Structure 1
Amino acid sequence: MDHLAIGPAGVFSINSKSHRGKTVWYGDTAVTMNGSPTRRIAVGQSEARRISRVLSTRCGVDVPVRPVISAVNATKLTGLTVSAKRARSSSGRTCGAPGLPGG
């Protein structure tokens, strides 16, 4: 875990790595760099579970933690998620946030 964000939307464990000069592809269950599979999702989920256990124990209540993967300095960032696939299939184009694929 590189960062921990806590706010009204919840608790987020952020794993950010520099990918200078690399092509990063992401989907709902996989992340690849230059076409090679990575363990980024499994590592992020494991970190989030560990942090959730620690915070829940210390706070005395269940504290869910959501994993976030941040690709910094990638030459190209592309991906497709299930929600984007649904948006594309119903409207003919992908919907996304500004500055992100489909945005």
Structure 2
Amino acid sequence: MPIIWTNGSEWAVLHAVPVGKGDSDIDHVVVGPAGVFTINTKRHRGKKIWVGDRMLMVSGQKTDHLRNSRHEAKRAAKLLTKATGISVEVHPVLAIVEPASFTFRQRPQDVSIMDARRLPRWLKRRRAVLAPEELASIIDAATEVRTWHPTADLSIDPSYRERFSELERKDHQAYLVRLAWSLAMAIAAGAVAVSFLTSFTAGF
């Protein structure tokens, strides 16, 4: 679960964040001056997307994408609030990779839905809502293993230890990069999941 620092260490991006004792994870957790976001990425190449307040359909088929996105954000908010001692709001984003089109019957007020290629610009344009000390506290909590596994024995599942060890290595290296448009290019080319939000390669 590598961490990427951008724009003078203002943004932290964590990938495939394992939550709880099972196999559940959150595709991406993004923390920056504009707040905290959980990003649920779904690849629906060439599919028509229909969106209502409580339902998202792919080529006429109902999905659980909205429900799952809401659940991930609530779960992350609860864990980060407990870890920091401050009230942390988390906004869910549903990023659709390579859709044919969107039809919005009604836009959900609590979930942002968009073509994944729009995500970098959308994040950069969000206004700052976190004070520096709040941001630092949330990033510290987000990069702490026990925030996501408060009671788990990581020795039970070696994969957890390996994934968080990678995060720690990146953290210690203070891996500085800038938010590049190569991200959008990578997504457009079909880079999804772990490769999503990792193509910040210039400027370190």
Which stretches of structure 1, 4 residues or longer, exceed 3 Å deviation after superposition? none
Residue 82 of structure 1 and its aligned partner are, at CA, apart by 5.5
* Larger relative contact order (Cα-Cα within 8 Å, sequence gap ≥ 6): 1
Which residue of structure 1 lines up, in the alignment, with residue 55 of structure 2? Answer: 30
**TM-score normalised to the size of structure 1?**
0.72
Name the count of aligned residue pairs.
85
Name whichever structure is richer in strand by fraction: 1
What amino acid does structure 2 have at the position aligned with 1:5?
A: V
Q: Unaligned 5+ residue runs, structure 1?
A: 84-99
RMSD: 2.2
Residue 81 of structure 1 and its aligned partner are, at CA, apart by 2.6
The 3 A distance-change label for structure 1 pair 82 and 38 is closer
Q: Distance in 1 between matches of 2:107 and 2:51?
A: 11
Structure 2 residue 62 is the aligned partner of structure 1 residue 54: no
Once the two structures are superposed, what CA deviation does each residue of 1:34-65 show, in whole Å capped at 9, x if it has no partner? Answer: 11111111101111111111111111111111
Residue 72 of structure 1 and its aligned partner are, at CA, apart by 0.7
Which residue of structure 2 lines up, in the alignment, with residue 93 of structure 1? Answer: none
Structure 2 residue 99 is the aligned partner of structure 1 residue 74: yes
Identity %: 37
Query: 3-state SS of the aligned residue for 1:11?
Result: strand
Residue 11 of structure 1 and its aligned partner are, at CA, apart by 0.9
Q: Unaligned 5+ residue runs, structure 2?
A: 1-25, 109-117, 119-204
Name whichever structure is richer in helix by fraction: 2
Higher-Rg structure is 2
**TM-score normalised to the size of structure 2?**
0.38
